[in-house]
């Protein structure tokens, strides 16, 4: 099984706005990116779509392009759920899904989600240990 980083090509596309597109337009956008030769499309986790469900929709609409989360917010789901989402997409689309994790931004985590954002580095270290 190929690893995503081996098949991502030299140029990828980060498209934060794809999170706000209805699914039919998002599928068209990634198909166009693939046709133009982009090796990967990175999508953000903002407030529009669940990144795992969205990645599955995008991957099912294409044949080669790698879809990566840039980033999946560690405050949005527990580590076991994060691993399960990654595993599901990696098995369904071998070599075409890459999980990127991050702590997001204080105004989204503390302000919108109402989580404690006082120690994001420590939170991430603990989170990664619990994913293992």
Q: Domain 4-131 carries which CATH code?
A: 3.20.20.30
For the chain, residues with pLDDT lower than 50 are: none
Q: What is the pLDDT of residue 23?
A: 96
- For residue 110, the surrounding DSSP H or E stretch is none
- Output the pTM of the full model: 0.93
Q: Counting runs of H as helices and runs of E as strands, what totals does the chain give?
A: 5, 6
C-beta separation of 76 from 54 below 8 A: no
- For residue 97, the surrounding DSSP H or E stretch is strand 97-98
Q: What is the pLDDT of residue 46?
A: 84
Residues with Cβ within 8 Å of 44's Cβ and at least 6 positions away in sequence, in order, are 14, 16, 19, 51, 69, 70, 71
C-beta separation of 61 from 85 below 8 A: no
């Amino acid at each position: 099984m190929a690893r995503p980083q081996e098949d991502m090509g030299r140029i990828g596309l980060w498209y934060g706005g794809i999170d706000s597109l209805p699914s039919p337009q998002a599928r068209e956008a990634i198909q166009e990116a693939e046709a133009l030769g982009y090796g990967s499309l990175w999508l953000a986790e903002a407030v529009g779509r669940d990144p795992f469900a969205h990645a599955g929709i995008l991957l099912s609409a294409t044949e080669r392009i790698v879809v990566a989360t840039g980033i999946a917010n560690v405050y949005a789901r527990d580590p076991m759920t994060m691993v399960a989402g990654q595993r599901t997409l990696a098995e369904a689309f071998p070599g075409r899904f890459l999980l990127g994790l991050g702590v997001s931004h204080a105004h989204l985590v503390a302000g919108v989600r109402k989580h404690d954002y006082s120690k994001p580095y420590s939170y991430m270290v603990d989170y990664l240990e619990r994913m293992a």
